[in-house]
Amino acid sequence: MKSPALTVDAVIQFEDGRIVLVKRGHEPFAGRWAIPGGFVEYGETVEQACVREAKEETGLDIRLDRLVGVYSDPGRDPRGHTVSVVYLATPTGGTLHADSDAADAVTFSDWHSLDLAFDHARILADALGD
């Protein structure tokens, strides 16, 4: 029996409202902007995975503030059925830079005109009340 893959995403928001997005370095959606995140490793909680993935992709230490939601549409990821647990987070340290599989990591004041990967426009709207 097949099971969906479990992922996490962190909507990292600075006090001034800017959010952190990473430019994907690999397919799917290579070159498009995305919310930092990735796959949960065996033996890890979703909270631990979210903090780890944020650090690996952005160089930032984060505090998880609240659960945004669980996104489980079977067609949301072209690699297969993937369920993502998404948190709103605040940066608490580190230095913003692309790391791991991210080609770039920057902050945006307005993300609405960007061509985002996956269903990340919907997730950002849910997280930020847009």
Please tell me the predicted confidence (pLDDT) of residue 66: 98
3-state secondary structure 13-71: ECCCCCEEEEEECCCCCCCCEECCEEECCCCCCHHHHHHHHHHHHHCEEEEEEEEEEEE
Task: Provide the domain count of the chain.
Answer: 1
Please tell me the predicted confidence (pLDDT) of residue 47: 98
Please tell me the predicted confidence (pLDDT) of residue 1: 86
Domain that holds residue 51: 5-128
Please tell me the predicted confidence (pLDDT) of residue 121: 97
Please tell me the predicted confidence (pLDDT) of residue 38: 96
Query: CATH code at 124?
Result: 3.90.79.10
Please tell me the predicted confidence (pLDDT) of residue 101: 74
**Widest distance between CA atoms in the chain:** 46
pLDDT in tens, the chain (130 residues): 899 999 999 999 999 999 999 999 989 999 999 999 999 999 999 999 999 999 999 999 999 999 999 999 999 999 999 999 999 999 999 999 998 778 999 999 999 999 999 999 999 999 999 8
What pTM value is reported for the model?
A: 0.96
Please tell me the predicted confidence (pLDDT) of residue 77: 96
Is 12 within 8 Å of 60 (Cβ atoms)? yes
Please tell me the predicted confidence (pLDDT) of residue 100: 73
- From residue 7, give the alpha-carbon distance in Å to each of 38, 97, 108, 112, 122: 5, 22, 23, 24, 16
